[in-house]
Amino acid sequence: MQLKTGNWVIVADGGHAIVFENEGTASAPELKCLRVHDLDNPPTHEQGRDQPPRTFQSADGRRSAQEAPDLHQIAEDRFLDQIVEDLERDAAAGAFKAMVVVAPPIALGHIRKSAKDDLSKRVVAWIDKDLTRHPVPAIAEAVVRALKDLPSG
């Protein structure tokens, strides 16, 4: 499989996402940055309670702790949902025909689960790598290498 001219590449994790378009060729890709998204994810105490919620037993008055929600994970999930919504709008507008999604396992799974049919059909490869903080030439090289390893079909 090759990264063709006009293909989009999304490189994301739970707090950073970059959308690229390949303006080069399959043999010499040139990724142009279309958009960058960053999540402002402040410390837990600024997002809500950092103590677990408590429940009370009405019969005897005992209290017990509940599992505290992971506010950072909730924020990251919402961030990824917004990225997917933006990409779905782009797909519906015909902005791209094919896309490669590159993300670490948890983010990749969330994106895959959130993507609806119109977007999912356009994804030609799901690559399990964290490349968000890499320079663009290294991202292009890693994507080309990963695509070569995928079965064509």
Return the structure tokens found at 85: 């919504």
pLDDT in tens, 4-27: 999 999 999 988 999 999 999 988
- Please write the tens of the pLDDT for every residue from 124-150: 999 999 999 999 999 999 999 999 987
Return the pLDDT at 1: 84
Beta bridge partners of 48: none
Question: Looking at residue 33, what is its pLDDT?
Answer: 97
Contact 98, 90 (CB under 8 A): no
Give the rounded distance of the alpha carbon of 89 from its chain centre. Answer: 16
Q: What pLDDT sits at residue 151? A: 75
What is the dotted CATH code of the domain comprising 8-38+70-149? 3.30.420.60
Check if the beta carbon of residue 139 is closer than 8 Å to that of residue 29.
Answer: no
The SS3 assignment for 48 reads: coil
Q: pLDDT tens, 44-95? A: 656 555 555 555 565 666 665 556 666 778 888 899 999 999 999 999 999 9
CA distances from 35 to 11, 58, 59, 87 (A): 11, 53, 56, 11
For the ranges 29-43, 72-86, 102-116, the maximum mean pLDDT occurs at 102-116
H helical segments located in the chain = 44-47, 71-92, 105-114, 117-120, 136-149
What's the pLDDT score for residue 136?
97
